[in-house]
Amino acid sequence: MARTFFVGGNFKMNGTVKSIKTIVDNLNNATLDANTEVVVAPPALFLLLVRETLKGKIEVAAQNIYDKPDGAYTGENSVHQLIDSKINWTILGHSERRTLLGETDAVVSSKTKYALDNGLSVIWCCGESLEEREANKTVAVVTGQLASLKESLGTSTAAWAKVVIAYEPIWAIGTGKVATTAQAQDVHAAIRTWLKENVSAEVAEATRILYGGSVNEKNCKELAKQPDIDGFLVGGASLKPGFVDIVNSHL
């Protein structure tokens, strides 16, 4: 089956009202590949601004959620409030939250299940450190993260259908370093094989697996040609006009 190409833009903790409006205007005025699904994730403060001004089919994601119902959780993002605001996606498990904020596999998996159970779709991130890569532990680390997710989701095709996996080697995020095309494809293929062997062949075939390590308009086309790379989760480059070229990289 053909998997719809997917490009996510993670603005991280960047932007002002002026710069966010410029990014939205650029996307609104661009000619984007109609066959590519696009989701952008601005900082929480700008979610409504982006949702209310962004035209077309582009969806909006929160950068994090909390795995509890609305209540006394100061500073957290409510799944129910996001859906009420027509924010239909969230990013979970990003390496910056895992490493800087101490989110464990169990925490990420719990958040993912709560998000899915309550109507959000999830860009779920995994990846290894430079030390783990050099110790040839990449596949073990990534499949360990996947195993934790499976403990929460089980093998439900309906649940996995709302998950897009983003493989992000930690050593290639924001460093300018990029995994070679072969390195990226190899890990994506390993993820798909794990899904086939541990979830189901149907889920393995249908799940989009994105690459997310310093992707830009110069390296995206070659990466997009790989059989198991179904798109990108873009960081810093999503703040720039070249993001449009990344969205159109599969043309």
For the chain, give the mean pLDDT. 96
How would residue 101 be classed by pLDDT, with cut points 50, 70 and 90? Answer: very high
* DSSP classification of residue 228: T
Question: Considering only CA atoms, which of 163, 117, 144 is closest in space to residue 8?
Answer: 163
Structure confidence at residue 251 (pLDDT): 87
Q: From the candidates 94, 96, 132, 188, which is the catalytic residue?
A: 94
Residue 95: which CATH number?
3.20.20.70
Predicted local distance difference test score (pLDDT) of residue 179: 81
Q: Calculate mean pLDDT across residues 131-143.
A: 94
In our burial notation (b when 16+ CB lie closer than 10 A, e otherwise), range 40-59 reads bbbebebbebbbeebeeebb
Phi-psi region of 45 (alpha: psi -120 to 50; beta: other; left: phi over 0): alpha
Provide the pLDDT for residue 187.
96
Q: Identify the domain containing residue 37 by its residue range.
A: 5-66+75-247
Region 74-89 average pLDDT: 98
134 is catalytic: no
pLDDT of 30 reads: 97
- Whether 178 shows a pLDDT value over 80: the answer reads no
Counting runs of H as helices and runs of E as strands, what totals does the chain give? 12, 8
Question: Can you read off the two tokens belonging to residue 6?
Answer: 């997917």
Q: How many domains does the chain have?
A: 1
pTM of the model: 0.97
State the pLDDT confidence band at 177, using cuts at 50, 70 and 90.
confident
Residues in the chain: 251
Average pLDDT over residues 167-191: 88
Catalytic residue among 103, 128, 168, 217: 168
List pLDDT tens digits, range 29-53.
999 999 999 999 999 999 999 999 9
Active-site residue flag, 250 = no
pLDDT of residue 172: 82
